[in-house]
Structure 1
Amino acid sequence: MNFRTFILGLAASFGLPWLCLIVIPAMKYQQLTPVAYDKDRDGVEGLYPPAPVNGQGQLVYIREGCNQCHTQMIRPVQLGLDGWYKGWGQDQEAKPAAPVRPTELRDYLSEKYALLGIQRVGPDLANYGWRAPDAGALHAHLYAPLSVRDWSTMPAYKHLYRLQKIQGPVSERALKLPRKFAPPAGYEVVPTQEADNLVGYLLSLKKDYPIPGQVPAVAAAPAPAKK
Structure 2
Amino acid sequence: MWKQHHRFERHSLWLVIGITIVVSIGGIVEIAPLFWVESTIEEVEGVRPYTPLELAGRDIYIGEGCYGCHSQMVRPLRDEVERYGHYSLAAESMYDHPFQWGSKRTGPDLARVGGKYSNDWHVEHLTDPRSVVPESNMPPYRFLADQDLDQHAIQAKLRAMVAVGVPYTADQVENATADLNAQVDPFASETSALRSRYGPRVAQGDFDGNPERLTKMDALIAYLQQLGTMVDFRTYQAEDPENLR
TM interval, short-chain normalised? 0.5 to 0.7
* Alignment check: 8 A CA contact 2:71 2:109 kept: yes
The answer on whether the counterparts of 2:70 and 2:104 sit within 8 Å (CA) in structure 1 is yes
The one of 77, 89, 99 equivalent to 1:104 is 89
Counterparts in 2 of 1:58 and 1:13: CA distance versus 1, 3 Å: farther
User: Within the alignment, does 1:154 sit opposite 2:138 as a pair?
Assistant: yes
Q: Distance in 2 between matches of 1:149 and 1:10?
A: 52
SS at match of 1:126: coil
Match of 2:126 in 1: 142
Structure with a larger share of its residues in helix:
2
Q: Who is 2:199 aligned against?
A: none
Question: Is 1:6 aligned with 2:29?
Answer: no
- Give the aligned partner of residue 216 of structure 2: 194
CA distance in 2, matches of 1:12, 1:75: 35
Specify the alignment match of 2:37 in structure 1. 29
Q: Deviations over 1:112-134 (max 9, x none)?
A: 43111351111111111142x11
2: distance between equivalents of 1:173 and 1:110?
A: 23
- Once the two structures are TM-superposed, the CA of residue 150 in structure 1 deviates from its matched residue by 1.9
Deviation at 1:33, TM superposition (A): 7.4
One-letter amino acid matched to 2:123? H
Contact 2:207-2:221 within 8 A present in 1 as well: no
Q: What is the CA distance between 1:196 and its match in structure 2?
A: 0.7
Q: Which runs of 5+ in 2 are unaligned?
A: 1-7, 148-205, 240-245
- Flag structure 1 segments of 5+ consecutive residues without an equivalent: 36-46, 90-99, 164-171, 176-187, 216-227
- Deviation (angstroms), 1:27: 2.4
Structure with more of its chain in strand, by fraction: 1
1:116 aligns with 2:125: no
CA RMSD of aligned residues (A): 3.4
How much has 1:162 moved relative to structure 2? 2.0
The answer on 1:214 being equivalent to 2:238 is yes
Shift of 1:159: 2.0
Q: Which residue of 1 aligns with 2:49?
A: 52
Cα distance between partner residues in 1 of 2:213 and 2:27: 42
**Paired residue type of 1:26:** L
1:83 aligns to what SS in structure 2?
helix
CA distance in 1, matches of 2:120, 2:108: 20
Label 1:81 to 1:193 Cα distance change in 2 as closer, same or farther (>3 A). same
* Aligned residue pairs, count: 166
* Inter-CA distance 28–156: structure 2 relative to 1 (3 Å threshold): farther
| Structure 1: distance between partners of 2:93 and 2:238 | 18
| Superposition deviation, residue 173 in structure 1 | 7.8
TM-score, with structure 1 as normaliser: 0.59
Query: Structure 1: how far apart are the matches of 2:100 and 2:207?
Result: 29
How far off is 1:214 after superposition?
2.6
| Distance 1:15-1:126 versus aligned 2 partners, 3 A rule | farther
CA distance in 2, matches of 1:49, 1:12: 44
- Given residue 72 of structure 2, which amino acid in structure 1 is its aligned partner? Q
Q: Closer, same or farther in 2 for the Cα pair 1:12/1:76, shift >3 Å?
A: farther
Q: Which amino acid aligns with 1:7?
A: V
* Alpha-carbon spacing, 1:116–1:20, altered in 2? closer, same or farther (3 Å): farther
